[in-house]
Amino acid sequence: MGSTAVEQDGLVIPIINFSDFLSGSPESKAATAKAILTAFQTSGFLYLSHTPIPPDLLTSVFANSASFFDHGEDFKRKYLWTTPDANRGYSAPGREKVTQLTKPDEVESLREKVPDLKESFEIGREDEPGHPNRWPELAGFREVMTEFHRRCHELNVEVMRAIAVGMGLGEGFFDGFVDRGDNTLRLLHYPAVGKERFEQGAIRAGEHSDYGSITLLFQDGRGGLQVRAPGGRFVDARPVEGTVVVNAGDLLARWANDGVKSTIHRVVEPPPPKEEGESEEVKEYPARYSVAFIEAIPGTYGAEKGEKKYEGIYSGEYLVQRLSATY
């Protein structure tokens, strides 16, 4: 069914062929769904291969993302992120501090001491009343990102169907909760940074869990993603060509009564590449790009499975709470 992308310090992250779920036999579909659920229950992470995302579209997304971030601050600030309710637009380096802290004063103190060395651009669904996307004036940008958002939403729905099948809930259990496409397409740019910044304790993105249901992460070739192993050590989750990294977020963990794991992870700076024959130490780390697509279940609590751990909460209310703490 697949191989392993990470196997270190008790952390195992599998590579799963998603075409076996989408178009395989009933037996293959059930086995793939079970493998996906098991990965979320054990590590909280997996890599999906053979997804329906066209490679040429992904290439265009990264090219358009780089084109936006290559512009100066005056251009980018015309499209600034405004509120947690909207969660759309540009966030400048140092604005967001991802962390597990929830008190604003503690987050602000951490932001001042160890800012995240990244900038981002958030895109939501097009038809949400009162919250239009802040489209930059770049040829083709809107068309490419709108199509990619649609494709990622379709993949998100299928992954949630696989989770439902794995849980024995029926394939369409989550459809009514994810059909509107209330997802965030997040373009991330980690600018080139001098080595001394990292020697001073800076980091690309601090230790955190994701706040949605699942995250689809598309990485460039630079790497830097690290996932916390059971013993507490952070392990490299290196890019694997032709795959999408998928991890469970806090909402899915809460929905499943902690039956799946929303695992702590971070983005650090991998060793800089050296040109062939280069002997001097590299003093600047090159830029890194990634694209993230972000989003109690019956049978997860009761006499045999333990107590229900969380009271009900609307997902929008929960997401606004989390976003308000990090910006």
Is the pLDDT at 278 greater than 50, yes or no?
A: no
pLDDT digits (tens, 9 = 90+) for 213-241: 899 999 998 888 999 999 999 999 999 99
Question: How much is the pLDDT for 109?
Answer: 60
Spatial distance between the Cα atoms of 245 and 104, rounded to a whole number of angstroms = 30
Residue 278: left (phi > 0), alpha (psi -120 to 50), or beta? beta
Largest CA distance in the chain: 65
181: left (phi over 0), alpha (psi -120 to 50) or beta: left
| Amino acid, single-letter form, for residue 167 | M
What's the pLDDT at 229? Answer: 97
3-state secondary structure of 146: helix
User: Hey, what are 148's tokens?
Assistant: 């990619």
Decide if 185 is inside a domain: yes
Picking from 186, 22, 168, the residue whose alpha carbon sits closest to that of residue 96 is 186
What H or E segment, with its residue span, contains residue 25?
Answer: none
Number of domain units in the chain: 1
CA 146 – CA 208 distance, rounded (Å): 28
Mean pLDDT value across residues 273-296: 64
- Model confidence at 9: pLDDT above 70: yes
Q: What percent of the chain has pLDDT over 70?
A: 75
Mean pLDDT of the chain: 83
Q: What is the pLDDT of residue 183?
A: 87
Within a domain: 115: yes
Q: How confident is the model at residue 303 (pLDDT cuts 50, 70, 90)?
A: very low
pLDDT of residue 199: 55
Residue 36 has pLDDT above 80, yes or no: yes
Q: Has residue 280 been placed in a domain? A: no
Nearest one of 200, 193, 210, 228 to 118, comparing CA atoms: 193
CATH code for the domain in which residue 164 is found: 2.60.120.330
In a domain, 278, yes or no: no
Give the sign of the dihedral formed by CA 125, CA 127, CA 130, CA 134: positive
Backbone angles phi, psi at 40, to 5 degrees: -70, -30
Q: For residue 40, is it within any domain?
A: yes
Indicate if the pLDDT at residue 70 is higher than 70: yes
| Helix, strand, coil percent values for the chain (each to nearest 5) | 35, 25, 45
pLDDT at position 56 is: 97
Count of Cβ atoms closer than 10 Å to residue 253 Cβ:
22
Per-residue confidence (pLDDT) for residue 320, from 0 to 100: 56
**Confidence bin at 279 (pLDDT 50/70/90):** very low
CA distance linking residue 238 with residue 89, whole number of Å: 28
Q: What percent of the chain has pLDDT over 90?
A: 54
The C-alpha atoms of residue 234 and residue 265 are separated, in whole angstroms, by 8
Residue 304 CA, chain-centre distance (Å), reads 33
- Per residue in 147-170, pLDDT (tens digit) is 999 999 999 999 999 999 999 999
| Residue pLDDT, tens place only, 240-267 | 999 999 999 988 998 888 899 999 999 8
Report whether pLDDT(319) > 60: no
In a domain, 320, yes or no: yes
**113 confidence band (pLDDT: 50, 70, 90):** low
Residue 315 falls within a domain, yes or no? yes
Q: Does residue 14 register a pLDDT over 90?
A: yes
Range of the domain at 91: 4-273+295-300+311-326
When comparing pLDDT for 281 and 163, which is higher? 163
89 found inside a domain? yes
Residues ≥6 apart with Cβ < 8 Å to 132: 88, 126
